[in-house]
């Protein structure tokens, strides 16, 4: 899955779960400050992504995420590991 596809997936999740308009989303969007997502909302998004991609992400991994780009990189790494 490409970075663009992962970003589109995250945009869909943000829209479905939190009502965030994907047109204002960029890889540089700050999860807490720009998107107004707290730790509970981030956990909800991660659980949604886990279900969509059939992966399991360690909680410690997503606690340090600050941007959409960080999340895309994390998901890319997990998908590479799953394919290996």
**Residues assigned a catalytic role:** 38
Q: What interhelical angle do 68-83 and 39-53 show, nearest 10?
A: 30
pTM across the whole model: 0.88
* DSSP letter, residue 80: H
pLDDT at residue 36 in the model? 93
Give 23-77 pLDDT, tens digit per residue. 989 999 999 999 999 989 999 999 999 999 999 988 888 888 899 999 999 999 9
Rounded CA-CA distance 46/29 in Å is: 16
The domain limits of the chain are 3-83
CATH code of the domain occupying 3-83: 1.10.1200.10
Confidence of residue 83 (pLDDT cuts 50, 70, 90): low
């Amino acid at each position: 899955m490409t970075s663009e596809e992962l970003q589109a997936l995250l945009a869909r999740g943000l829209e479905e779960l939190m009502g965030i308009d994907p047109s204002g989303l960029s890889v540089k969007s700050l999860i807490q400050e720009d998107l107004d997502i707290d730790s509970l909302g981030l956990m909800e998004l991660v659980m949604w992504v886990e279900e969509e991609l059939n992966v399991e992400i360690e909680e410690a991994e997503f606690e340090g995420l600050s941007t959409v780009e960080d999340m895309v990189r994390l998901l890319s790494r997990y998908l590479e590991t799953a394919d290996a």
